[in-house]
């Protein structure tokens, strides 16, 4: 069964540094998402992306965040100047038209 | 915006017994309700979903019921097994939006 893949599995970064989290969605999917989950808490929506543009974003997704689909396979989340409170598990998800969202295994981001 | 409440936060059940997890939602425009199972350190995995034009859906030992009038939906697991132990999240979505709003999760423990 095809899966959403995310790299790296764990990223450790100094506060203030930029970080890029990478995702390869399932190949025939057209809708892409980033969610985050702070340890022990619920999954929170960050942003959705369709047709090469952001279709929806949450209040968490402020100017320090950006997303990009640089080629036909990758989907990235960039955090420009990381803060301690950005420490969380970040999940990428994708879906086909009128189908459920499928999640990747996540990237654990630790900000020191 | 949508708010999803989930109860209980923890649930312990004897192996073989049934487990029920309940969620309520606030936005009457929500019309899609998936349930995700998340094992420790793993991705949320879709286990069942229901759309608002259906009142109940079953897949082997798992069933979901939806009461649109009361704005609540429930997950039922029958004949529970140790491998059912995990955190379960409900979620709600309006087909007009991309955002999945998750509940706070239920940690289900199956006692052998």
pLDDT for A70 equals: 86
Encoding tokens for residue B98?
């991309």
Which segments of chain A does DSSP mark as H helices, in order? none
- Which residue among B42, B45, B102 sits closest to A43, beta carbon to beta carbon? B102
* CA–CA dist A47, A57 (Å, integer): 4
Tens digit of each residue's pLDDT (9 = 90 or more) over B46-56: 999 999 988 99
**Which residues of chain B does A43 touch, with a Cβ-Cβ cutoff of 8 Å?**
36, 44, 89, 91, 100, 102
Encoding tokens for residue A87?
């420490």
Cβ–Cβ < 8 Å for B64, B48 = yes
pLDDT for A2 equals: 83
**Three-class SS state of B106:** strand
CB-CB under 8 Å, B98 with A50:
yes
**Which residues of chain B does A45 touch, with a Cβ-Cβ cutoff of 8 Å?**
99-101
pLDDT for A102 equals: 94
CB-CB under 8 Å, A100 with B99:
no
Interface test with B, best of A3, A24, A29, A43 (most B CBs within 10 A): A43
Mean pLDDT of chain B: 95
In tens digits, chain A (112 residues) has pLDDT values of: 789 999 999 999 999 999 999 999 999 899 999 999 998 888 999 999 999 999 999 999 999 999 999 887 899 999 999 999 999 999 999 999 989 999 999 999 999 9
Q: HSE of A100 in the Cβ direction (CA atoms, 13 Å)?
A: 17
């Amino acid at each position: 069964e095809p899966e959403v893949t995310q790299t790296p599995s764990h990223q450790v970064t100094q506060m203030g540094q930029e970080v890029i989290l990478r995702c390869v969605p399932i190949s025939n999917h057209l809708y892409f998402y980033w969610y985050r989950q702070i340890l022990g808490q619920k999954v929170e929506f960050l942003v959705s992306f369709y047709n090469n543009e952001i279709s929806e974003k949450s209040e968490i997704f402020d100017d320090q965040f950006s997303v990009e689909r640089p080629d036909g396979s990758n989907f990235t989340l960039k955090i420009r100047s990381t803060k301690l409170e950005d420490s969380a598990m970040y999940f990428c998800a994708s879906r086909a038209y009128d189908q459920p969202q499928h999640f990747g295994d996540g990237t654990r981001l630790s900000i020191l | 915006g949508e708010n999803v409440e989930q109860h209980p936060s923890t649930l312990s059940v004897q192996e073989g017994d049934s487990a029920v997890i309940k969620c309520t939602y606030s936005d009457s425009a929500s019309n899609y309700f998936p349930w995700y199972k998340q094992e420790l350190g793993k991705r949320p995995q879709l286990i069942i979903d229901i759309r608002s034009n259906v009142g109940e859906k079953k897949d082997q030992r798992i069933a979901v019921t939806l009461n649109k009038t009361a704005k609540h939906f429930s997950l039922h697991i029958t004949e529970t097994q140790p491998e059912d132990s995990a955190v379960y999240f409900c979620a709600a979505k309006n087909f007009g939006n991309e955002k999945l709003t998750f509940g706070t999760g239920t940690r289900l423990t199956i006692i052998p």
